Amino acid sequence: MKSKPKALYIHVPFCEHLCYYCDYPRILITKQNIDLYLDKLEEELNLYNPEGVETIYVGGGTPSALPLVAFKRLFSIASKYSSDVSEYSVEGNVENLSKEKLLILKEAGVNRLSIGVQSLNNQTLKAIGRRHTKEEAIEVINLAKSLGFSNISIDLIYGLPNQSLENLKAELDLYLKLNLNHIATYALDISPHTVFGIKKLTPISDELSREMYDYILATLRKHGYNRYETSTFAKPGYECKHNLTYWRNEQYYGVGYAASGYINNIRYVNTYNLTAYLNGKFIGEINKVTPSNIAEYFLLTNLRREAGFSLDHFKNHVGVNFKDMFKKEAKALEENGLLHQENNRVFLSDEGMIRIDYVLIELIKNL
């Protein structure tokens, strides 16, 4: 792995408020030294000098939560490395993705938006701590379209408090009417350090969660969306190129508080200590990818893809034939209808995608 990464992730951890379900690395923006953070972000970027990247993804947190001047500066800093990218994605929330900020993104060359919608039910939005309405979400999406953004992704969380299958069906109908090219779906996961976790919210039953996933899968496929990763759907040609870098187990730069990266067989995670980051101590953890765990990383990423992987790709990357390494395990998974080996490819069935955690445990337990 001596070639330079072709993908760059930039993390902006600041949020105007903390949603009840979210456990991503994020910090309330109130009273934070945004200018100093951007100073250090620029310093870290220049250390890597990620020239020649093909994709950039600016995530969070909420990048659009930055004040207008700081927001503009962020993309000025990134401009040194963004001139040749084919896909430039930015996350934004409905309540702070203003026309002024959308125009800044347009001028910076951003060509893909990921808008944090989560739900198009006003009662549900309030219950999960979101600060926008269904009407405001639709308004922002239409505004972005009017300004020339044609590649827009929105999120859909299911299994939310008091959500029934009928509620979900009605919401998905609204999502489809927006006629967007990319939808990322997530089952609500209640983590202990979130508001929902602290309140000990009871999750929906596994049976209902499965019904919801099956309905989403069937409905989105019917309307021309391909599931190209366990929970992510796109119309042909609109798959997120940057995220495919992760799911193909390819290298990428990661900069910013709590960001992660993968360079020259080293996987690293930046510090979760904001004070340390602002003092220039960027990396918090380093893990060298060794021959003993390279197959594990490969499977953890590539099996999330509906396309799976080719036997040649596995052999070239891991150095061993998949069928030799996992002959017994793969046969058992095939017999259970969870995994397929066809036309030189290994991939999961629909049932295997649902039970991917089990599949991965069965494959890697003896590594």
Q: What is the pLDDT of residues 234-256, one digit of tens each?
A: 999 999 999 999 999 999 999 99
Mean pLDDT of 344-360: 97
List, by residue range, all CATH 1.10.10.920 domains of the chain: 295-367
Strand partners for 253 = 8
Mean pLDDT of 255-282: 97
Q: What is the pLDDT of residues 144-155, one digit of tens each?
A: 999 999 999 999
Q: What is the pLDDT of residues 53-109, one digit of tens each?
A: 999 999 999 999 999 999 999 999 999 999 999 999 999 999 999 999 999 999 999
- CATH for 7-246? 3.20.20.70
Mean pLDDT of 333-343: 96
Sign of CA dihedral 185, 187, 191, 196: positive
List, by residue range, all CATH 3.20.20.70 domains of the chain: 7-246
Residue 2: band (very low, low, confident or very high) from pLDDT cuts 50, 70, 90: low
Cα dihedral 146→150→151→152 (10° resolution): 30
Annotate 189-233 with DSSP letters as a single string. ---TTSHHHHTTPPPPPHHHHHHHHHHHHHHHHHTT-EEEETTEE
Q: Is the pLDDT of residue 126 over 80?
A: yes
What pLDDT does 367 receive?
79
Q: Is the pLDDT of residue 1 over 50?
A: no
Percent of the chain whose pLDDT exceeds 90: 84
Q: What is the pLDDT of residues 141-191, one digit of tens each?
A: 999 999 999 999 999 999 987 789 999 999 999 999 999 999 999 998 888
Q: How far apart are CA 168 and CA 182, in angstroms?
A: 18
* Average predicted confidence (pLDDT) for the chain: 94
Residue pair 285/353 in contact (Cβ under 8 Å)? The answer is no
Tokens of 282: 């960027």
Looking at the domain 295-367, which fold is it? Arc Repressor Mutant, subunit A (1.10.10)
Mean pLDDT of 42-62: 96
What pLDDT does 355 receive?
96
The residue type found at 36 is L
Q: What is the pLDDT of residues 186-237, one digit of tens each?
A: 998 888 877 787 778 888 899 999 999 999 999 999 999 999 999 999 999 9
